[in-house]
Amino acid sequence: MGYLFTSESVSEGHPDKVADQISDAILDELLAYDPNSKVACETLVTTGQVVLAGEVKSKAYVDLQEITRDVIKKIGYTKGEYMFESNSCGVLTAIHEQSADINRGVEREDPMEQGAGDQGMMFGYATNETENYMPLSLDLSHRILVELAAIRKEGKVMTYLRPDSKSQVTIEYNEENKPVRIDTIVVSTQHDDFIKPDNDSVEAQLEADRKMLDIIKNDVITILMPRVINSIHHEDVLKLFNDHIIYHVNPTGKFVIGGPHGDTGLTGRKIIVDTYGGKGAHGGGAFSGKDPSKVDRSAAYAARHIAKNMVAAGVAEEMLVQLSYAIGIAEPINIFVDTYGHANVNMTDAEIADKIKVLFDLRPKAIENNLKLRNPIYSETAAYGHMGRDSKVITKEFHSRYQESKTLVVELFTWEKLDCVDKIKEAFNL
């Protein structure tokens, strides 16, 4: 019997994602001026206010207020009517030095024996149902909001759009766990109050709200969704779009109050959006604001790198990889693999895990080195997912009133590279 599966995404203007982007922008600035920085930065955003907290050990000194305001401006919170605006919001800082007890468990005389920055378990997942080896429902949810943000910033159509938005996609699967059609798409987008009621009556207000909703729903279906479809180049995915998709657009009828004014935002509160949309598993650790000595982040990237390369090499149709660590210990406690019965090799999942242990060095410092994680590459991860993105080389500029400006060439999303496929095929005789 077939089934339905749903994933959601949130935009860069969602309050939790505003917090994530501020935390990662601070991390990037510190890494740009001191690659050995140890950072755990948490952000809270609410009406007219940003609160920064956490622990930092770094030789760099950065302007936290300037970084915070630049992020908020870039997202699009630039009007006082949003009740959260880049120039006028308050920024309260409560950041202190990293605990010496934690630091002595991480740093070693031999850098390669660097201990894990915390205990915990991390998961990586990949499936061959999309070109980027991501769950289809999440991939489409991200695409919808990426296009919606692009439309908002272009300012040519749907000019009523505000920064906060959410999406959700439900896919129907058959008995063989293959996607057969898109069942439901949900889009909730913050908007201007662009149609005013004729008078002060409740009826007039409801009529104005209905007219706004009709325009927004029509624009989502006739402007947004064609752009989303045009961004897809996988024929099997394009076939899933049909004339019977159920659309829920702004189901409450009105979404004017939003962003940090409508809902308080916190770093690390969208960990499922950041990873696999509910597919596979999650160890519970958030990513944003953490330097790569924190295996919550770096080992999760490593596990994704392994799972994606294993699936791309043909070891399995889909794969979940679990890594776990003890604080201060370099080697992982365990490596677990689940192929969901879809392995293409005559091996048990435990035997596949043993092969992974030989193929990949999963000590924290080795992960940092192999995936180039000591670079300022994290702001780009803080919205629209950490996984399934395009690995590319870009130039980033950093300007500081305390130090000279820096121009750095960095490689983004290195954990998405298919650079281990050949050695995996050789190891598995594929």
Three-class SS state of 1: coil
User: Which whole-number Å values give the CA distances from 427 to 322, 352, 370, in the listed order?
Assistant: 20, 10, 19
Residue 154 annotated in ligand binding: no
Is residue 318 within 8 A of residue 339, CB to CB? The reply is yes
Q: What tokens does 132 get?
A: 């980027």
What DSSP character marks residue 376?
Answer: S
Instruction: Report how far apart, in Å, the C-alpha atoms of 355 and of each of 203, 212, 337, 340, 415 are.
Output: 67, 57, 11, 18, 19
290 is an annotated ligand-binding site residue: yes
Please indicate if the annotation marks 19 as binding a ligand: no
Query: What are the residue ranges of helices labelled H in 287-420?
Result: 295-313, 349-359, 364-370
107 is in an annotated binding site: no
Contact predicate 165/305, CB 8 Å: no
Residue 422 is labelled as binding a ligand:
no
Tell me the three state secondary structure of residue 185.
strand
Beta-carbon neighbour count of residue 103 at 10 Å? 15
Q: What are 40's strand-pairing partners?
A: 55, 290
Distances from the Cα of 43 to the Cαs of 20, 40, 50, in angstroms?
Answer: 7, 10, 7
Q: Which of 408, 407, 416 is nearest to 375 (CA)?
A: 408
- Does 8 show up as a binding residue in the annotation? no
Check the annotation: does 156 bind a ligand. Answer: no
CB 323 within 8 A of CB 122: yes
254 is an annotated ligand-binding site residue: yes
Instruction: Please tell me whether 38 is known to bind a ligand.
Output: no
Measured distance between the N- and C-terminal CA atoms of the chain, rounded to whole angstroms: 32
Beta bridge partners of 53: 42, 94
209 is in an annotated binding site: no
Return d(Cα 416, Cα 389) in angstroms, integer: 7
Helix (H) or strand (E) holding 360: none
**Torsion angle defined by CA atoms of residues 226, 228, 231 and 235, in that order, rounded to the nearest 10 degrees:** -80
Residue 17 annotated as part of some ligand binding site: no
On whether 269 is known to bind a ligand per the annotation, the reply is: yes
Residue with tokens 């598995």: 428
The two three-digit tokens of residue 231, written as one number: 């961004």
368: nearest Cα among 400, 415, 333: 415
Known binder of ligand: residue 286? Answer: yes
Closest of 223, 221, 226 to residue 246, by C-alpha: 221
Determine whether the annotation assigns residue 425 to a binding site. Answer: no
Q: Name the nearest CA neighbour of 389 among 410, 420, 413, 370.
A: 413
Annotated binding residues for Mg(2+), written as ranges, equal 16
Which parts are annotated binding residues for L-methionine? 55, 98, 263, 294
Binding residues for K(+): 42
Binding site for ATP, by residue number, is 14, 164-166, 254-255, 263, 269-270, 286, 290
Binding residues: 14, 16, 42, 55, 98, 164-166, 254-255, 263, 269-270, 286, 290, 294
